[in-house]
Chains A and B, each alone.
Chain A
Amino acid sequence: MTAAPELDSNILRAEHISKSYGAVTALTDINLRLAKGEVLGLIGDNGAGKSTLLKILCGFQPPSSGAIMLEGQEVRFKSVDHARSLGIDAVYQDLALINQLSVFHNMFLNREQVRWPLLKNRAMRREARQHLNDMGVHLPSVEVPVAKLSGGQRQAIAVARSVYSDAKILLLDEPLAAMGVKEAAIILDLVRDLKQQGEVSIIIIAHNYGQVLEVCDRVNLLQGGRITYDRPSSQTSVAELTELVVAEYREALEERQRLGR
């Protein structure tokens, strides 16, 4: 995993992706690559466009221009379901959990097991419990509505849902945000396990650069809708990444002062 992967080994590539909402430009000429089995960290300040990029890569919204190449083939995602059928699954920052539904119904949301026309609740309940146990997440019951769980538990369920979806590419938007130390360790271990198995390629958006460097092979920095930095984790440090982001803030501050505001 240390050698830079060749272009052909990239499972996912974003080419010249731009996205604007009316007059507001969120992303400009994004070029991003993800090798098979690689874990890519996507960092950047709030509002840099990280979540927008992720929502394009998982089929939730189309780019304004540019192309997405999946295993060398250009694809146009028609929907989240379409992207999912091609092996891409995302954990959203807002988790996309339904508070009123039980843990196990959330874990199988929109890929319920069915013996038409009825849901196979017993099978889903058993599998959900199994997956959560495997991950080391212990809940008293998978029947409780997710509204009653803690932020970390909710996040663990959202991550488990994607991890056990047999996806080839996982997109995780701040999977550690609401987590305690122990829960974060569970997720980081999970990512490490997946990396070792080498079957899944992962993009992680995160703010904790220590955690990013711990599990990621490579880091991309997104600033103002552009990727400004792309380096293997081994060639950078928390200090450098912090400095890059803080420098951006200082520049903006100086700019404002120069304009006399």
Chain B
Amino acid sequence: MNFVSNTAQQGGPADTGSIPGQPRAGGGQAGETLTRVGRAFLRQRESTVFVVAVGLFIYFALNSSSFVTSTNLPILFTQDSAPYIIIALGEVFLLICGEIDLSVGFTYALAPYLMYYLITYDHVPGLLAILIALLMGVVIGWINGFLTVTVGLPSFITTLGTGFVILGIVQTTSHGEPVTVPTDVAGAQHWLGGNWAPFIWAVVLTILMHIVLTRTRWGLHTVSVGGNQLGAREAGINVNRIKYGNFMLTGLLGALVGIQNAFVTSSIDPTAGGYLPMFYAVTAAVIGGTAMLGGTGTVVGAFLGAIVIGMLTDCFIILGVSANPLPIIFGGAVLVAMIANVQLARLRARGAQ
């Protein structure tokens, strides 16, 4: 089943006896099943971040009476987690195929403005304006793909450049002024910015993208391109198409998050988005087990990683602790996760000999 996870933590002596379907002597039936489930769990790349997420949740729930409340939970999941989850879905696909998008946070900023301009100045119907704004995200993704794949720039540079350009467009067209969401699209408020709506979007999209990554040709070819680009090309995989597609996916998701954020906060702000949500999304992906070496990555891990980030952000505020040291924790988590990734890869390589 799950080809990405299967590559993750095998290779240790622990899984030599766990070839599926192979009967083992001794031990009670129930105990054996439990052991097998336990091993299967530990073999998942996501298990570490899952344990961390659950542990943090329990810790904060026990230490703060205002954590598990009907006011705080929507903030935690909808405002502090959902945007990073959704952006991370795109970044995971890009990281797996060996690329990155630094510009997505600026697409995030531009999309709601485009929606606003279309409605206010061009009298475009609200729903159509939202669709065009989403499409703009796809177009920005295509431009990133063109510059990276066709022109041949490293995606780090491509998206560094396009990010600045988009930021400039946002600042110039908005004159740096925030605006309010037009009343024409008030009907979409409930669906895009409701109390739990962005998080429900995040969950549904996570499930969808997990299936795409693990059960479809697109996912398989994304892994192939990142794992062995020449080999993928030799096997006839259209490497360029995969990369273009994943840039366009990321642009689309960035635009979606930007529009959602406008509805959540009821305002459109030129300083929304930017580098922070992008870096949080990449952080979520790395904490979740996506090595930036290409060829491996997990959608579910990124989802959990983003929730860990959300919980930490949220709880420093609730617990009344200064948020100033928060980046130290994020930075530490990224480094620990990456060291674990590299060490695991080394162990796997040794196991292969």
Contacts and interface: CB of A to CB of B under 8 A. Distances in A.
Interface of A: 60, 79-81, 84, 90, 92, 94-102, 105, 109-110, 112, 114, 117-119, 121, 140-141, 143-145, 147-149
A117 B217 CA distance: 8
Contact of A100 (B223, B235, B237, B351): B223
A107 B217 CA distance: 14
User: Which 10 pairs show the lowest CB-CB distances between chains A and B?
Assistant: A80-B236, A96-B231, A96-B234, A81-B236, A100-B227, A148-B352, A100-B295, A98-B227, A98-B224, A110-B235
A114 B221 CA distance: 13
Contacts of A94: 230-231, 234
Secondary structure type dominating chain B contacts = helix
Contacts of B348: 147-148
Contacts of A101: 3, 7, 220, 223-224, 227
Interface residues on B, range: 35 or more
Contacts of A121: 1, 215
A112 B6 CA distance: 19
Contacts, number: 98
B92 to A, nearest CB: 14
Given A105-B220, A119-B217, A119-B220, A110 B227 contact: no
Given A147-B352, A148-B352, A80 B235 contact: yes
26 contacts: A60-B233, A80-B234, A80-B236, A81-B236, A92-B231, A95-B231, A96-B234, A98-B227, A98-B228, A98-B295, A99-B227, A99-B295, A100-B7, A109-B235, A109-B237, A114-B217, A118-B215, A119-B215, A141-B19, A143-B6, A145-B7, A147-B7, A147-B349, A148-B11, A148-B348, A148-B351
Contacts of A118: 211, 215-216
Q: What is the predominant secondary structure among interface residues of chain A facing chain B?
A: loop
Contacts of A117: 216
Nearest to A79: B236
A147 to B, nearest CB: 6
A72 B221 CA distance: 35
B10 interface: yes
Given A118-B216, A144-B10, A145-B6, A96 B352 contact: no
Interface string B215-248: 1110011011011101111111110000000000
A112 B217 contact: yes
